[in-house]
A and B are shown apart, each in its own frame.
Chain A
Amino acid sequence: MSQLKKGQTHKVTLTLNGSVRSGDCEARTLLSDFLRHELGVTGTHVGCEHGVCGACTVQIDGVAQRSCLTLAVQVEGRRVDTVEGLSGPEDGLSGLQAAFRRNHALQCGFCTAGILMSCEDYLRRKPDPSAAEVREMLSGHLCRCTGYTNIVKAVLETAAERRAAVSS
């Protein structure tokens, strides 16, 4: 059992986008704030802070989840992936990110980081989704610019590309 007292700061160590990182936080610190304020990784955005908007979605051990509904102390020893990890420094955009650009699947970009993290998890589990299934998955994200249609196109295009790459 680990016990953390209120008001005290605790050290949390995690694997962030493949690198081991640590920082200090209180037990009540949200993962979203820990990533942005303590680790300085600001690609993950914070919108509603009660799980509705989806902007803060990250992957914990590969599973897309809300970082605003997760405590930083809960990711001790775990793998956390954020939008910064999708493309390497020299790789340029990932396939999914490139499809978003091609299809104009973002405009202001505020919601995009969270959407990308959801899509990557979803496509691993469901490589051949229907448009309706993609829309159902995207219902966990609010986007006020695109009207979603181009996001659905980008996700379906990426799924098709990946299936073609696997079969060839």
Chain B
Amino acid sequence: MKPYAFDYLAAGSAQEAVALLAQLGGDARILAGGQSLMAVLNMRLAQPSALVDISATADLNYVRVESGHLIVGAAATQASVEWRAGLAGEVPLLALAIPSISHFQIRNRGTVCGSVAHADPSAELPLVLTALDGEVVLRNKKSRRSLKAREFFRGMLTTARQPDELVEEVRFPLARPGQRVAFLEFAARHGDFAIASAAAVGHGRLIRLAVGGVADRPIVREWEGLDESVIDDALNEFAWDLQAQDDHHASARFRRHLVRRLGKKAIKAVQAKEA
């Protein structure tokens, strides 16, 4: 398997990357870690005319804590977040979810922003960003805009990003005192695409549950308190609202079952920590 021929442009800076996108038009693709894109190119499922490589773009390679967020630049790898000493205190949900992203070797090269930009409905990082109500910063040659995760993800592999825009950074809100989180995933083997995944965030009596791998994007639902008497009905309703589809990995029925089971376990976990 060899990719179809393309022009290759290595961007020396973020500004150069967005200038190249403006100049090349919609047929150019950003190459960051390439852990999804290169596979797609090798199989010739995509044949872009040009690749703009930002993997070695120094001013996009950063992970920092600023104004209540963990901010991850477009060239920062998943490993650079995973191996951060303070991650479990900063964004504990990321610390729980990152080990389920594919494998050690893939996380070494794959980027956080690349996974968000790719918007696979079963991917962990879009799920975490949605569960935490995080933000995506999009930049083109002229301006920047910031979108909430729920505004950014539009459907299967589809986002609000315009062809001339770069996902410049993503912002994960830092854990607040008293916040409790849980992450659960069901996959055929460790590291495989999730058949369904659940991320729960509890704060006071408020519970947010995000589900991945079932709808065409991660979907979140919030409840104010969720007592034992109503939890099963609430999750059953959520499971049906996600409009799961049958595919060769799992039936819609099985996915609804997983939403009810994983959802309940995740919610119980964040409730249990309350006591």
Taking Cβ atoms with an 8 Å cutoff, the residues of A that contact B are: 1-7, 26-30, 33, 49-51, 54, 57, 63-66, 68-71, 73-74, 118, 121-122, 125, 136-137, 139-141
Q: Is B143 positioned at the interface, with any CB of A under 8 Å from its CB? A: no
Residues of B within 8 A of A27 (CB): 5-8, 51
Which of A1, A69, A118, A137 contacts B39 (CB under 8 A)?
A: A69
Which of B2, B31, B55, B109 contacts A30 (CB under 8 A)?
A: B2
Residues of A within 8 A of B5 (CB): 6-7, 26-28
B79 shortest CB reach to chain A, Å: 8
Residues of B within 8 A of A121 (CB): 108
Q: Is B104 positioned at the interface, with any CB of A under 8 Å from its CB? A: yes
How far is A26 from B4 in the complex, measured between Cα atoms in Å? 11
Binding site secondary structure of chain A? mixed
Q: Is B53 positioned at the interface, with any CB of A under 8 Å from its CB? A: yes
If A66-B109, A74-B56 touch, does A139 touch B6 (CB 8 Å cutoff)? Answer: no
Which of B7, B34, B191 contacts A69 (CB under 8 A)?
A: B34
Closest B residue by C-beta to A1 = B12
Residues of A within 8 A of B8 (CB): 3-4, 6, 27-28, 71, 73
Residues of B within 8 A of A69 (CB): 34-35, 38-39, 42, 109
Across the interface, do A136 and B190 meet the contact criterion of CB distance under 8 Å?
A: yes
Across the interface, do A51 and B4 meet the contact criterion of CB distance under 8 Å?
A: no
How far is A33 from B1 in the complex, measured between Cα atoms in Å? 10
A48 shortest CB reach to chain B, Å: 9
Across the interface, do A1 and B103 meet the contact criterion of CB distance under 8 Å?
A: no
Pairs across A and B, CB under 8 Å, 26 listed = A1-B10, A4-B7, A4-B8, A4-B9, A5-B7, A6-B5, A6-B6, A26-B5, A27-B51, A28-B4, A28-B6, A30-B3, A30-B38, A30-B42, A50-B1, A50-B38, A63-B108, A66-B109, A69-B39, A70-B38, A70-B109, A71-B31, A71-B53, A73-B8, A74-B53, A141-B105
Binding site secondary structure of chain B? loop
Which of B83, B99, B105 contacts A65 (CB under 8 A)?
A: B105
Most chain B CB inside 10 Å of its own CB: which residue of A6, A26, A71 = A71
Across the interface, do B105 and A68 meet the contact criterion of CB distance under 8 Å?
A: no
Residues of B within 8 A of A4 (CB): 7-9
Closest B residue by C-beta to A27 = B8
Closest A residue by C-beta to B17 = A1
Across the interface, do A136 and B109 meet the contact criterion of CB distance under 8 Å?
A: no
Which of B1, B12, B31, B34 contacts A49 (CB under 8 A)?
A: B1
Q: Is B106 positioned at the interface, with any CB of A under 8 Å from its CB? A: yes
